[in-house]
Amino acid sequence: MKKKYSIFSLAKNALSGHKDWQKMWRSPEPREFYDVIIIGGGGHGLGTAYYLAKEHGLKNIAVIEKGWLGGGNTGRNTTIIRSNYLWDDSAHLYEHSLKLWENLSSELNYNVMFSQRGVMNLAHNEHDIKEIKRRVSANNLNGIDSFWLSKEEIQKKVPIMNTDNLRYPVLGASYQPRGGVARHDAIAWGFAMRADEMGVDIIQNCEAHQIRTKNGTIEGVETSKGFLRANKVGVVASGHTGVLAESAGIRLPLQSKPLQALVSEPIKPIIDTVVMSSAVHAYVSQSDKGELVIGAGTDSYNSFTQRGGFNIIEDTIRAMVELYPVFGKMKMLRQWGGIVDICPDASPIISKCDIEGLFFNCGWGTGGFKATPGSANVFAHTIAKNEPHQINSAFNLDRFASGRLVDEHGAAAVAH
Amino acid sequence: MLIINCPYCGPRDQSEFSNGGEAHVKRPDGSKEIGDREWGEYVFIRANPKGLFYERWVHTHGCRKWFNCVRDTSTDEILVTYKLDEKKPNLNDFKSVVKTPSGEPEVGSGNFTVEK
């Protein structure tokens, strides 16, 4: 039954002490056979199931997740959303996603708390200025809102920023007003709930062990709840995608590394936009609860430990305190690390592969959250039609043989 | 943060080192015959296991020498470091704590301390 949320349902449930809220999704036991199995119950995976059911009429779909929904990188990021990427291919992909974000709360009838408070990318040297201005121009040619802010304009927007008295002074910034942040859990829960209503089986605590193939065709997935047969399998397992691909005999150009973030104790509103700096490596926004949400970098070495090295936090905090001296005495509340899968060209892979019926959506590296609805939307198209959507056709696996890379190292927030 | 045992200088803090990715990668023979795909694999694809991993490090802020290492990527435990001209150790000599085929250690998510 369709679950509706409104002021009336809230009032009604308040009267009964909030004891009668319906479960948002079922917890079914897996069936033996599915048309499509999605491995990975994060935002991208649940979104894929949602769009497969909604736009492509597929009903017999399962999403399998080894932990709990949104417990991986969906719940381990800094929730920044923007589309100011350099190349046409990426700009179209991320802009597609941003447009979906803009309508998502009403489409899902579930508040994903998308707040378009603007995203600023700081320039700290001559080279940054040239690169960022070039990117602003490229964005404008692609119809993406983006403009250059002078130092004075930055000071006006973010008065607490120290722009002059630091090792790498702030010289300007790009600004995308339509960018912002969203609630990370809500996107997973919203997609899960609406996919479940359309009959998608969401199976948690079900770990994929091995992708089974026969004569170049997919057979199914060996899981901790037994073998599940499937016509098609979509792998959306972020840092663990490479491990699963290996089980099907496929080598992907991915390296898995921990990416860290941290939040401070809550304070009164002090910063009303998102400020990112890839040169000194610190980015920050303030959550609705008042915590500063701070993004740090990746470790230099491959690792699957969801914690990350302490030196990375040190670097980021150093940059933060220099940029915002007012934060110097704040305490950090908690820190976490997510395993991201980094592609050589800092662009994702949304592609079919040599095995018929096996699809990958991976390589989002350090910036997958912003792309959640767009990535899910075009991945669902790719799985349903066996052909990429026009928007993701450049993000295929063949580019690592043809050399037609989509080099987005400049626009990716975390240098790698 | 890791303590890395440089085969030339002894145990030092990780901040003195830089990581060089997978070790023992061999350039394919017969560069005229092989196709784009094979070249692409050599250029772009590196092993990325959850578990035991051969990798290279360089002691950047020390002796500046390169060396190899076997590390468990599910725990970050460094099992052995060895010089470039030394024989590659057999992974079967080490115990991996990874329990399931998709590589999850017993307690999950790799968030645990190795008991010595």
What are the domain boundaries of chain B? 3-25+40-93
Is position A382 within any domain? no
Interface of B to A at Cβ within 8 Å reads 1-2, 14-15, 18-19, 21, 35-37, 39-41, 43-46, 48-50, 53, 55, 71, 73-76, 100-104, 108-111
Chosen from B74, B102, B111 to mutate, greatest number of chain A CBs within 10 A: B102
Indicate the residue of B44, B55, B100 with minimum beta-carbon distance to A344: B44
ipTM of the assembly?
0.89
Asked if B45 lies within 8 A of A224 by C-beta distance, the reply is no
The pTM (predicted TM-score) of the whole model is 0.94
Q: Which two tokens stand for residue A59?
A: 């009903």
pLDDT (tens place) for every residue of chain A, 416 residues total: 677 888 888 899 999 999 888 889 999 999 999 999 999 999 999 999 999 999 999 989 999 999 899 888 999 899 999 999 999 999 999 999 999 999 999 999 999 999 999 999 999 999 999 999 999 999 999 999 999 999 999 999 999 999 999 999 999 999 999 999 999 999 999 999 999 999 999 999 999 999 999 999 999 999 999 999 999 999 999 999 999 999 999 999 999 999 999 999 999 999 999 999 988 888 999 999 999 999 999 999 999 888 888 889 999 999 999 999 999 999 999 999 999 999 999 999 999 999 999 999 999 999 899 999 999 999 999 999 999 999 999 999 999 999 999 998 877 766 55
The answer to whether residue A159 is domain-embedded is yes
Instruction: Determine the Cα–Cα distance for residues A174 and A153; give it in Å rounded to an integer.
Output: 11
**Domain with A132 in it:** 117-178+256-342
CATH number of residue A324's parent domain: 3.30.9.10
CATH of B3-25+40-93, one of 3.30.2270.10, 3.10.520.10, 3.40.30.10, 3.30.930.10: 3.30.2270.10
Count of structural domains within chain A:
1
Q: Are strands A61-64 and A226-235 parallel, antiparallel or unpaired?
A: unpaired
Residue A218 within any structural domain of the chain: no
Searching chain B, which residue's CA lies closest to the CA of residue A308? Answer: B1
